[in-house]
Amino acid sequence: MANVLELRDVSFVRSGNRILDRLSWSVDEADRWVILGPNGAGKSTILQLAAAATHPTSGEVHVLGERIGKVDVFELRTRIGLAATNLARRIPAAERVGDVVLTAAYAVTGRWNERYESLDLERAAEVMDAWDLSALATRPFGTLSDGERKRVQIARAVMTDPELMLLDEPAGSLDLGARESLLASLEEYASSPLAPAIVMVTHHVEEIPPGFTHAMLLREGGIVAAGPLDDVLTDAHLTETFGIPLAIAREGGRWSARAKR
Ligand SMILES: Nc1ncnc2c1ncn2[C@@H]1O[C@H](COP(=O)(O)OP(=O)(O)OP(=O)(O)O)[C@@H](O)[C@H]1O
């Protein structure tokens, strides 16, 4: 099985703060990972490293077989799909949804004078259909609900057929219906043998889509536990990660957690 992401003894220090502390971790192509941990644990920083958007202070990051620091990251980034709210902020409010998805083919936000092939147009239509966006194709991005925006961000990331998909809190801020519907779409996407390796950051075990295979629990820049979901998602590990006594349960392929009384 091919390795798509590897962190070797990685530390990340900013403003004197050790945000990641000697972290080692690897992701294979068939893996679907979730990263869980409290606010400020370093989850988004790991995604930024995996997206080749930043460099470690020490240690090595290998993405899709290339070592960060020794490779043209602009070329490498075209092979990585990233859906994150800070990227969505760069999308012009007036941009039509169809163009937000289509412009991913050129890794730009905001349609200008690019010439798109019919293949790009067909791919955009196919992706919008799969992510339930066809009816919104002509709507300006700025008029969408949070749930619709999340779908557009993911569709944009899917558009280029990435070899590694990174999702930063895809279900964050969604209402129950929108969350469940997004999780169903993610489950379907993740279950395809053609889907790339996926790493998803979330705050809640309830947001782990069925079919995900691995979890990393992160606390203060260090790994509490990492590996197959069933081994990692235990009362003891969750309690250590979040610092309060927690109980976790699994039913019908979904997880839930609550404080122990
Ligand atoms: N450039 C920076 N300079 C200083 N501190 C930073 C910088 N980038 C991140 N941090 C700090 O590093 C810590 C980890 O940030 P990160 O965004 O990775 O955490 P997170 O686990 O994704 O948090 P959240 O769940 O709140 O989104 C935070 O305390 C953050 O304030």
Does the pLDDT of residue 226 top 80, yes or no?
Answer: yes
Task: Please indicate, yes or no, whether the overall pTM of this predicted structure exceeds 0.90.
Answer: yes
Looking from the CA of residue 19, the nearest atom of ligand 1 is: 12
Q: Which is more confidently placed, 115 or 103? A: 103
Nearest one of 252, 243, 190, 249 to 219, comparing CA atoms: 243
Max mean pLDDT range (76-80, 103-107, 231-235): 231-235
Q: How far is ligand 1, taken at its centre, from the CA of residue 11, in Å?
A: 13
Q: How far is ligand 1, taken at its centre, from the CA of residue 57, in Å?
A: 15
Looking from the CA of residue 48, the nearest atom of ligand 1 is: 18
Q: What pLDDT sits at residue 107?
A: 63
> Burial, 247: exposed, middle or buried (Cβ in 10 Å; 0-12, 13-18, 19+)?
middle
> Burial, 69: exposed, middle or buried (Cβ in 10 Å; 0-12, 13-18, 19+)?
exposed
> Domain boundaries in the chain?
80-161
Q: Whose CA is nearest to atom 5 of ligand 1?
A: 14
Q: How far is ligand 1, taken at its centre, from the CA of residue 14, in Å?
A: 9
DSSP letter (8 states) at residue 140: B
Residues 17-35 have pLDDT tens digits of 999 999 999 999 999 999 9
Q: What is the mean pLDDT of residues 126-143?
A: 94
Query: In the beta sheet, which residues pair with residue 254?
Result: 251
Max mean pLDDT range (100-109, 170-179, 224-233): 224-233
Element (H, E) at 24: strand 17-28
Q: Which residues line ligand 1 (CB under 6 A)?
A: 14-15, 17, 19, 37, 39-45
Q: What are phi and psi of 159, to 5 degrees?
A: -50, -40
Looking from the CA of residue 203, the nearest atom of ligand 1 is: 25
Q: What pLDDT sits at residue 114?
A: 65
Looking from the CA of residue 47, the nearest atom of ligand 1 is: 18
Q: How far is ligand 1, taken at its centre, from the CA of residue 45, in Å?
A: 7
Residues 68-96 have pLDDT tens digits of 988 888 889 889 999 988 777 888 899 99
Return d(Cα 19, Cα 46) in angstroms, integer: 10
Q: How far is ligand 1, taken at its centre, from the CA of residue 42, in Å?
A: 6
